[in-house]
Structure 1
Amino acid sequence: MDLGRIATAMITPFDSNGEIDYEVAEKVIEHLIANGTDALVVCGTTGETPTLTIPEKRELIHFTIKKVNKRIPVIAGVGLNDTAYTIEATKVVEDFGADGIMVVAPFYNKPNQRGIYAHFEAVASVTHLPVMIYNVPGRTGVNISAETTIALSKIPNIRIVKEASGNLDQMTEILGNVSPDTFVYSGDDALTLPLVAIGGRGVVSVASHVIGNEMQAMLQAFEEGRHDVAAKYHQAMLPLIKQLFKDPNPVPVKYALSKLGFPVEKVRLPMVEMLDEDKTKYDRIWEEFQEQVKVIKTL
């Protein structure tokens, strides 16, 4: 399954009472579809799933699938550190009509590589849906090795990898040893262009909430051989991306999206909103980025 170049890991909007705001969620979905998003990932890290209840996760996934209505693929985050729960959630979202599932490496348990393989194998065996491997050792405390990812890619419906290890050497090893129909996506916005340059497909992005069109322009320039232009986009984006991760994700991107008119700044504890000084710095970097993009578009 090809998710395109940019899949957005969607935020979860909350109202003033801390409940999921579905009216705003619909507006965010429409904004993303209209601004450079090729696929949506719902109930991932950016969606604050550690603080969502199981009923909330299921309702949000179901809602998103219905509102998207097959215009772009919707990938449902179902992974937990409990294989039995992950299997149960997979069956539920398959019935909802999800186009694929994202399964994170089991966290806290810290399984070895054999345990990680067995976890993904068990989940993949109960569904016909494409399975996205989500490797994010900074969150889970365990790295899915290149060898394990390569082995898992031989399972027929495991053909998508979200690599958020930040390790380009590991990504290169994976890309050099999987079949051409296995797509490797960066889980780090800052590594989007470097990964595509070594054969990756694209990015599962946070920054695309606010710069999706510019990211598409960067990747289009690269595909067209205008590597100097692609590099300029990358260079302009990097300070903004770094500021979007100044605080734990999704705190900064929720602030950034609120600056575009979406009332989504509220986060659930233990997340807390950005300090005013960091908001001011983001605003400055955003203005500088806009000016740089104007120049790049003339190249």
Structure 2
Amino acid sequence: MDISNLSGIVTATPTPIKDGNVDVSSVKELARYLLANGATGLAPIGGTGEYISLSEQQKVDMVRATVEAVDGAIPTIAGLIAPGLGEVFDSGKRILDAGADGLLVTTPFYVRPTQQGVIDYFKAISDTLDTDLVLYEFPYRTGVSLTAETVQALGETTRIVAMKACNADAGLQMRVLEAAGDKIAILSGDEDVYPLHLAAGAKGGLFASSCIIPKVWNRITELGQENRTKEALELHSRIRPFLKLIFSEHNPIPLKAALRILGRPCGEAMLPLLSASAETEAQLVKMLPEMEALEASL
């Protein structure tokens, strides 16, 4: 499936593990729910999917189950969080063989490469793996921040067709949109300031919390795309306390707890992550009915 024109809300999904294996029925139930509620794509086995805690077989099984569930209706863009090309090539080929329509690839971490190093890295991936790529920039995790010029060059010289932008530097985000927004689809990765990214030209968002409130995010997107920024901000303000809570512990710890509370269990977080604290659980039990009511109103 073509992923060159991504827009709207692509949802990052958690990986349910049961007795050491991917819980395929839970994967498919959540994927079909998100499809029915307006997701324009699904992104399994990224950070939300606990990529670094999964075995190679679990990654393949998670991707295959997601692809089967959506049955070609929307693209499956699988995460690929690796420090170097060896793992990227090996894992990428297996993930693509499992049916992924594209790969969400982080900048390499630990080594902290130069800007040119990042460009050459993605060129090598583009030359080796037969698929389009979504660039995942997340300096908080990788230690690598890309300049607007680098993103522009990547859009011009590689198979990158979109970007999940998670840089907290708002000025840089604006420069990236100006430099590369006509070359690749810039998707916000920052739930907290999403209406502002839409106003600046983002095509949509790639979020984890849309597992819980997909209709809210769809409506905010519609308002932003219609240049009704004030209304988008007003609706967004109603979910900001929930966003603070859903990321109050390392993602996807609160997300998995919330899904279990809502009757869509996705297992517990995997080591080295722990289950949600009692305080977080209690706050979720208190806040989720309000989010469900807001969803139902849209």
Q: Normalising by structure 2, what TM-score?
A: 0.92
* Equivalent in 108, 118, 121 of residue 120 of structure 2: 118
Residue 89 of structure 2 is matched in structure 1 by 87
1:7 aligns with 2:18: no
Name the CA shift for 1:224/1:265 in 2 (closer, same or farther; >3 Å).
same
* Equivalent in 128, 146, 149 of residue 147 of structure 1: 149
The one-letter code matched in structure 2 to 1:176 is E
Aligned pairs (5 A) from 1:56-135 = 56-135=58-137
Provide the C-alpha distance between the structure 2 equivalents of 1:95 and 1:290, rounded to a whole number of angstroms: 37
Shift of 1:19: 3.0
**CA deviation vs aligned residue, 1:272-298 (integer Å, no higher than 9, x gap):** 11111122222333344456678x86x
1:176 aligns with 2:178: yes
**CA deviation vs aligned residue, 1:46-91 (integer Å, no higher than 9, x gap):** 0011110112212222232223221101112224112122123333
> Given that residues 195 and 236 in structure 2 are in contact (C-alpha distance below 8 angstroms), is that contact kept between their aligned partners in structure 1?
yes
Q: Normalising by structure 1, what TM-score?
A: 0.91
Name the CA shift for 1:268/1:121 in 2 (closer, same or farther; >3 Å).
same
**CA deviation vs aligned residue, 1:240-264 (integer Å, no higher than 9, x gap):** 1111100000001111111221122
1:255 aligns with 2:257: yes
Q: Secondary structure of the residue that 1:125 maps to in structure 2?
A: helix
Provide the C-alpha distance between the structure 2 equivalents of 1:156 and 1:138, rounded to a whole number of angstroms: 24
Name the CA shift for 1:149/1:226 in 2 (closer, same or farther; >3 Å).
closer
Residue 212 of structure 2 is matched in structure 1 by 210
Provide the C-alpha distance between the structure 1 equivalents of 2:119 and 2:55, rounded to a whole number of angstroms: 27
Q: Secondary structure of the residue that 1:115 maps to in structure 2?
A: helix
Residue 29 of structure 1 is matched in structure 2 by 31
Provide the C-alpha distance between the structure 1 equivalents of 2:26 and 2:292, rounded to a whole number of angstroms: 25
Provide the C-alpha distance between the structure 2 equivalents of 1:117 and 1:278, rounded to a whole number of angstroms: 40
The one-letter code matched in structure 1 to 2:6 is L
Shift of 1:199: 0.3
> Given that residues 216 and 294 in structure 2 are in contact (C-alpha distance below 8 angstroms), is that contact kept between their aligned partners in structure 1?
no
Name the CA shift for 1:96/1:263 in 2 (closer, same or farther; >3 Å).
closer
> Given that residues 146 and 173 in structure 1 are in contact (C-alpha distance below 8 angstroms), is that contact kept between their aligned partners in structure 2?
yes
Provide the C-alpha distance between the structure 1 equivalents of 2:199 and 2:138, rounded to a whole number of angstroms: 21
Provide the C-alpha distance between the structure 2 equivalents of 1:146 and 1:224, rounded to a whole number of angstroms: 26
CA-based RMSD: 2.0
Aligned residues: 295
Shift of 1:204: 0.6
Which deviates further from its counterpart, 43-52 or 107-116? 107-116
Provide the C-alpha distance between the structure 2 equivalents of 1:98 and 1:2, rounded to a whole number of angstroms: 16
The percentage of aligned residue pairs carrying the same residue is 28
The one-letter code matched in structure 1 to 2:224 is F
Q: Secondary structure of the residue that 1:161 maps to in structure 2?
A: strand
Name the CA shift for 1:142/1:291 in 2 (closer, same or farther; >3 Å).
same
Residue 43 of structure 1 is matched in structure 2 by 45
